[in-house]
Amino acid sequence: QLVYPYDFRLTEKEKTSICYLSFPDSYSGGLGDTQFSFRLRQSGGQRTTPYQDHGQYNREAPLTLQREAAHYFGYVYFRQVKDSSMKRGYFQKSLVLVSRLPYVNLFQSLLQLIAPEYFDKLEPCLEAVCNEIDQWPPPVPGQTLNLPVMGVVIQVRIPSRVDKPGSSPVKQFNQENLLPAPMVLPSIHELDLFRCFQPVLIHIQMLWELMLLGEPIVIMAPSPTVSSEMVLALTSCLAPLRYCCDYRPYFTIHDSEFKEYTTRTQAPPNIVVGVTNPFFIKTLQHWPHILRVGELRMSGDLPKQVKVKKLAKLKTLDTKPGIYTSYKTFLHKDKTLIKRLLKGIQRKRPSEVQSALLRRHLLELTQSFIIPLEHYIASLMPLQRAITPWKNPPQIRPFRQEDFMKTLEHAGPQLTCVLKGDWLGLYRRFFKSPNFDGWYRQRHKEMTQKLEALHLEAICEANIVAWMKDKSEVEIVDLVLKLREKLVRARCQHLPVKEETLQRVGLYIETIINSLPEDLQAVLHHH
């Protein structure tokens, strides 16, 4: 019905997808308000966003909170109430916030404030809200922002790449004397993991392995809320490692990728997809891992845990909750986690305390797995003394899987993790996954930039006049052009180099040019 701001351009395909994704696609008797999220592939080429920061946000934000380049997130507030004046006897409407940022808590909290007002006052309400949001500061990693909207100030901290993993963000808030007192969000994006993972707590490890390996997983849920929360909880459980595969928190049969995902002619893609329509049981039963969950109910005891079942048991009509898979975990089960969570339930610990326990457990698991990889890749960096000013910097040595495996005997995950099992087998499978590829590319890029930076520093330290003594004009001109190119690259790629280093290299270039004959000087200055 309405897109606000008006100048936001969506392709017809995107509009259609957003419409279908904004409503529950199977009958749910529930009346009232529900909230859920989806993620949508952008169609129709690159689009400029009004917010241009030349990649600075993505360089400073954690890898798990990057601004998406090719996808939009949709955050939905759906209302269904009985209304006899409507043709169907119901009022059904959704307000959807579309963003490239995965700030699920911030945007869902924002919708809780806006949507009820919008359903009541319609367009003028959105106009007022958008005017306020226009005044918000941009998200700068590491900063606490105060965001005024509709008489409330939302206070939230934007996480930064330099935050210590697992540190609790709540304590870092500066409580300025704001009136009215702000609505403080403890996290911009972290879900209540304990609530989301309720039916699968005893299988956390298996799910962590499946996510680490980028396996195709279907989540079949009773509602878009359960489906999207489970998918987002799963994709977050590898932090600080980035989950590099595709994921759809909520997916309907009308989606343009439906054919792509349900085809039997090729293996299912590396993706976690959340669905609610029972029709998917039939179309996706060839997928290797299917998690069927019921409605989430918080009760005093450990919620009923689903069982692992054979895929052949997947009944089309009445599918019982369960994890339908033939996957055998590489690591043994960790009984201590479940014991600690059970103790928490008996002592009636709040959900956020249980979630912190879970998150910490997953973080330690991921770190135990990734630290040996980090150590090995760091050893591939050339020695600092091999970086000399007048030669191209040496290459980063290639990543050899077998060499890495050899390092595990004396420096493997067993140093930091009590879990026994086939760690080597897990690494071998991980090397085939998009998550390894994404991690390796990111590290390789960072190391290449570090090398460039060290090389520029070496040039700065060098005695350029001595070098020029016995060089021909051709060699000197060649050096000028190379240094210039380096300087441009350092600025474009925002290399980790001190500004004074760049300025000194600039001065060097001037000095060298001025020592050349005038005709050459003119050419180079013009160049």
What's the mean pLDDT in 274-303? 81
Inter-residue contact 424 to 494 (CB < 8 Å): no
- Can the peptide bond before residue 186 be classed as cis, meaning omega within 30 degrees of 0? no
Type of residue numbered 485:
E
pLDDT one-digit tens code per residue, 61-108? 998 899 988 899 999 999 988 888 877 778 888 999 999 999 999 999
pLDDT of residue 19: 92
Q: 215: part of which helix (H) or strand (E)? A: none
pLDDT one-digit tens code per residue, 317-329? 567 888 999 999 9
Inter-residue contact 2 to 34 (CB < 8 Å): no
Higher pLDDT, 419 or 251: 251
* Cα–Cα distance list, 52 to 55, 67, 138 (Å): 8, 12, 10
- The full set of domain ranges for the chain reads 12-46+56-138, 193-355, 384-526
Per DSSP (E only), the strands in 15-137 are 32-41, 71-82, 90-99
Q: How many residues does the chain have?
A: 527
Q: State how beta strands 144-149 and 90-99 pair.
A: unpaired
pLDDT higher than threshold 90 for residue 273: yes
pLDDT one-digit tens code per residue, 358-406? 999 999 999 999 999 999 999 999 988 888 887 888 899 999 999 999 9
Best-predicted range by mean pLDDT (48-52, 124-128, 445-449, 477-481): 445-449
pLDDT of residue 91: 81
d(CA 188, CA 163): 14
Residue 466 three-state SS: helix
- Nearest Cα residue to 118 out of 109, 108, 127: 127
What's the mean pLDDT in 120-128? 86
Enumerate the β-bridge partners of residue 69. none
Q: State how beta strands 183-184 and 217-220 pair.
A: unpaired
pLDDT higher than threshold 50 for residue 297: yes
Long-range pairs, 255-260, Cβ under 8 A, ≥24: 255/17, 255/20, 255/21, 256/13, 256/17, 256/41, 256/43, 257/41
Q: What is residue 65's DSSP assignment? A: G
d(CA 230, CA 216): 15
pTM of the shown model? 0.89
d(CA 170, CA 184): 9
Would you put residue 421 in left (φ > 0), alpha (ψ -120 to 50) or beta? left
Alpha-carbon torsion, ordered 56, 59, 61, 62, to 10 deg: 170
pLDDT one-digit tens code per residue, 8-36? 888 888 999 999 999 887 666 667 889 99
* Number of CB atoms found within 10 A of residue 177's CB: 5
- Can the peptide bond before residue 24 be classed as cis, meaning omega within 30 degrees of 0? no
pLDDT higher than threshold 70 for residue 49: no
pLDDT one-digit tens code per residue, 497-516? 888 888 888 888 888 888 88
Q: For residue 4, what are its two tokens?
A: 């606000």
CATH class of 193-355: alpha beta
Q: 359: part of which helix (H) or strand (E)? A: helix 351-378
Lowest mean pLDDT among 188-192, 400-404, 458-462: 458-462
Per DSSP (E only), the strands in 221-335 are 246-251, 271-275, 289-292, 308-309, 322-325
d(CA 214, CA 269): 9
pLDDT one-digit tens code per residue, 235-269? 999 989 999 999 999 998 888 788 888 888 888 88
Enumerate the β-bridge partners of residue 98. 74
pLDDT higher than threshold 80 for residue 433: yes
